[in-house]
Amino acid sequence: MANSPSGDSMTERLVRVLETFTPARTAQTAAEIGRRSGIPSSTAHRIVGELVDAGLLERDAQHRVRVGMRLWELATRSSRALRLRQAALPFMERVQSRVREHTQLAILEQDEALFIEQLSGSAAGSNATRVAGRLPLHASSSGLVLLAFGGPDLQQRVLGGPLARRTAATIVDPDALRRKLAEIRTLGHAIAPGYIADVSTGVAVPVHDETGAVIAALSVVLPHGAQTEPALVELLRAARDIERERGL
């Protein structure tokens, strides 16, 4: 792969261009992409042009570019998230229709919880999550489940900090977090009252594969102070049904 004068490969530059897109920043000009990726402007313009020609980025009427449907198609088609999401959707719908709050499915990705599906009714409360968005492992119910049942290396990295504070309730002390993770393993679920936003409580349960490893967390976002037990019953039932469905 040809390297640029700064020594990074073409692939690295492509990744830097694509990583300038975030859940909150979905359209940008080529000049903004150049600035945010640290790639010289003329190179950024060329890479963006080539990606547009290939359909991986799309240009809108204001000459800003967005992630293209072709990139979405290629990424979604063969990802391991797709099969899990398809197995989970009917049971997530049941949770959502009964609990009537945001219902979401997250997997572990690069030491964060990555949300691969979310169902929200029109009356559901506020939510810090969206599909293809991420939350910190220590500060969300889904993240805590993925962390509690994750490997020792993962736990060591996360407990080693920094543990960023999101609200007054976020656990930022490693010893307190270690105790919380042990409690989650004992109970088999995580409750995160006000950890990511004062107004909500996350409730999450693990989803296992056929070997017993935890592959995902299924969660709901309740208004702070709401009863967690009815949601927990629905989540546990749905997680069992997803596991059975995947085993078919």
Q: Which residues bind ligand PHB (CB under 6 A)?
A: 127-129, 135, 140-142, 192, 195-197, 200, 202, 204, 219, 221
Give the shortest CB-221-to-ligand PHB separation in angstroms: 4
What's the token pair of residue 221? 């976002």
Give the shortest CB-160-to-ligand PHB separation in angstroms: 22
Give the shortest CB-231-to-ligand PHB separation in angstroms: 12
- The H or E element containing residue 203 is strand 200-208
What's the token pair of residue 199? 């107004």
Residue nearest to ligand PHB (CB): 202
**Strand partners for 217:** 106, 206
* CA distance linking residue 181 with residue 51, whole number of Å: 43
b (16+ CB within 10 A) / e for 41-64: eebbbebbeebeeeebbbbeeeee
**Strand partners for 47:** none
Give the shortest CB-196-to-ligand PHB separation in angstroms: 4
DSSP assignment of 131-178 equals: TT-EEEGGGSHHHHHHHHTS-HHHHHHHHTS----SSTTS---HHHHH
Closer to ligand PHB by CB, 96 or 129: give it: 129
Nearest to residue 233, comparing CAs of 199, 207, 203?
A: 203
Give the shortest CB-135-to-ligand PHB separation in angstroms: 6
Give the shortest CB-167-to-ligand PHB separation in angstroms: 10
Closer to ligand PHB by CB, 17 or 191: give it: 191
* Triad 194, 198, 199: Cα angle to 5°: 100
Closer to ligand PHB by CB, 21 or 195: give it: 195
Closer to ligand PHB by CB, 33 or 192: give it: 192
Closer to ligand PHB by CB, 37 or 142: give it: 142
Closer to ligand PHB by CB, 177 or 197: give it: 197
